[in-house]
Amino acid sequence: MSNASPVRYSLAARCLHWAIALLIFFSIGLGYYLTTLGYYDPNAQSALHYHRAIGMLALLLAVLFCLLHLLQRRPSLDEVKPWEKIAAYVMHYTLLFMMLAIPISGYLISTSAGDAIPLFGDISIPAVMTLQPDGARLAEQVHLILAWMTGALALLHGSAALKHHFIDRHDTLRKML
Ligand code: HEM
Ligand code: HEM
């Protein structure tokens, strides 16, 4: 194996990156829609069901993506200035943390009373712990804040990638395509 860093992220990492990005943006939209519905709205139950199931799928993919991050060699960030490299590291680790923390906090809200989360068909995910009402409210606040923060951070992160591609003409974006 050569010591040079790879030119691109692995195919698996690239597929997972874009799938997770899509699922997170979609989940923010669906999560927001969810909160605009009243309890008795006929769509409320099914919107919540899809939000949970899609969010748990995002969690599964995020775990795989984090494993690849640990196990695989990644392209270097050497095309950018030193301060940008530090900013990119901080952003990447923040986003890796967020993609786990958002669905986990959602899971804690939904299982706070000890109920399992029904997914598709007969498959459901059991509760591992119950929370007091205060704990459930905290999980709700964490979920909400992390989700909206991540939307903003991901836009910043995507804008940086587009700036490096179209303005600086670096290969930054190509590593992920
Ligand atoms: C990438 C994954 C996820 C994202 C980006 C996301 C995002 C959001 C957003 C933006 C809201 C609306 C917050 C607000 O403005 O009040 C929300 C609400 C909610 N989400 Fe998620 N979510 C994700 C995963 C999950 C998962 C996996 C579950 C449960 C298994 C879940 C359960 C909930 C619940 C129960 C609410 C309603 C909270 C309330 O009543 O205030 N979410 N989510
Ligand atoms: C919710 C959305 C997103 C999340 C959570 C996310 C997360 C991440 C993470 C964690 C990495 C580092 C991967 C690693 O070190 O293993 C990364 C790299 C990258 N992302 Fe995103 N991303 C998102 C959206 C986007 C968007 C919209 C774009 C482009 C328009 C983009 C372009 C890139 C590029 C080009 C890299 C490689 C950067 C480099 O190595 O120089 N991402 N992303």
Provide the 10 A C-beta neighbour count for residue 74.
Answer: 15
**pTM of the shown model:** 0.95
Taking a C-beta distance cutoff of 8 angstroms, is the pair 79, 120 a contact? no
Largest Cα separation within the chain, whole Å, is 61
Give the ligand with the smallest distance to the CA of 103: 1
**For 92, left (φ over 0), alpha (ψ -120 to 50), or beta?**
alpha
Q: Does domain 11-176 have CATH number 1.20.950?
A: yes
The domain ranges of the chain are 11-176
pLDDT tens per residue, range 128-175: 999 999 999 999 999 999 999 999 999 999 999 999 999 999 999 999
Specify the residue with its C-alpha closest to ligand 1, atom 10: 28
Predicted confidence at residue 39, as pLDDT, reads 84
Half-sphere exposure of 52 (CA within 13 A, CB side): 19
Give the ligand with the smallest distance to the CA of 18: 2
Specify the residue with its C-alpha closest to ligand 1, atom 19: 31
Specify the residue with its C-alpha closest to ligand 1, atom 1: 24
Low-confidence ranges of the chain (pLDDT < 50): 1
